[in-house]
A and B are shown apart, each in its own frame.
Chain A
Amino acid sequence: MLFCHITSQVSTDPYQKLLSEKGGRGFPHLVFMDAEGTVLASPADRTVASFMKTNTELKRIADLQGKTDPASVTALVFAKLDMGMMKAADAKEKLSGMTLTPAQVATLESAMIDDEVNAARANVRTRDEMLAVGDTYLEMKAKGRVPTGKSAPMFWGTIATTAESKKDVALFEECVTQMKKIAAADPRYARSVEAMETRLKSMKDPKGAPPEKQAKRLNGG
């Protein structure tokens, strides 16, 4: 069922704070909700494919709910994990004692790393705080805890900022290489790579750096 909510600022219109209540921070905002109005999931992006994938996954989750056989329970947990409806730690707990395939173990571990990456970046407001997160990510990297999932762009982008701050060209180059791999699989990151390459050029040749205003624009600042 399709529901369109209009924030009108008309004083007599009800539910004028519904957007923020449902997790929205800007317009447009798209979510799937149950009949009670509980948010179930949000499409990853504004494409038909993304809408259909989310819709299909939610239907699959609905079909799996209530089933008690191990295969269904496991499938439900992984479906919820994929949709962001369950934290990796909770999934791990639910799956303890279950027999998992090597691929499922890898997916769970990847989700644990994603959650760790996201938790470190939560509530970061200042540049100094972000640079500190970059150091945290470098510690994760040293321990081999490198995300390959949804948080990978944020992970490498944040480390790149820290590398730039430390004038560590080699580390920044590594970030560019990783972002190129991400962009090869997801073209939405092509512009990020382009901006990072400009920053790298500036790091290697500060004299040839673009004027500050242009650099800020390229860096999204």
Chain B
Amino acid sequence: MKSTKWALVALVLAVSSPFIAAQAPAAPAQRAAPSQDDLIAKRDAKLKVPFLNRKDVTWFTDYDKAREEAKKTGKLLFAYFTRSYAK
């Protein structure tokens, strides 16, 4: 329970950070579609954000593995949906 609480505190801090807050839904931009290479680079950068790489909290980013682990442990999933494709 304690670890869940701290995980949630970490999540709220992450969600409240300017980095994440900057990703609020924005009006559709009129610009050229980014290349797949750009999108891959942005996704990889997103995977390196500090809150996903904390040593005291485990975040699953693979949906199949997350569900598998939830089944094994009998726990619920707390899912945070974000995006990497926007600037």
Contact = CB atoms under 8 A, between A and B. Distances in A.
A11 interface: yes
Given A13-B43, A37-B67, A52-B5, A5 B80 contact: yes
Interface string B18-43: 00100111000000001010011011
Contact of A8 (B24, B43, B77): B43
B78 A30 contact: yes
Contacts of B73: 1
B4 A6 contact: no
Interface of A: 1-11, 13-15, 18-19, 22, 24, 26-37, 40, 46-48, 51-52, 55, 58
A66 B77 CA distance: 21
Given A3-B59, A14-B63, A26-B24, A31 B79 contact: yes
A40 B76 contact: yes
B75 interface: yes
B70 A1 contact: yes
Interface of B: 4-5, 7-9, 11-12, 15-16, 20, 23-25, 34, 36, 39-40, 42-43, 46-47, 52, 57-61, 63-64, 66-67, 69-71, 73-85
Nearest to A56: B1
A206 B58 CA distance: 58
B76 A7 contact: no
Secondary structure call for the B interface = helix
Contacts of B36: 10-11
Given A3-B59, A3-B63, A18-B63, 11 more contacts: A2-B78, A5-B63, A5-B82, A7-B84, A8-B46, A9-B39, A30-B80, A36-B67, A48-B12, A55-B4, A55-B8
Contacts of B57: 2
Contacts of B34: 9
Contacts of B60: 1-4
Contacts of A14: 63-64
Contact of B23 (A5, A27, A32, A47): A27
Given A3-B77, A35-B77, A36-B67, A10 B25 contact: no
A123 to B, nearest CB: 20
A3 B80 contact: yes
B85 A8 contact: yes
B23 A1 contact: no
8 contacts: A4-B61, A6-B47, A22-B79, A26-B25, A27-B24, A30-B81, A34-B76, A51-B8
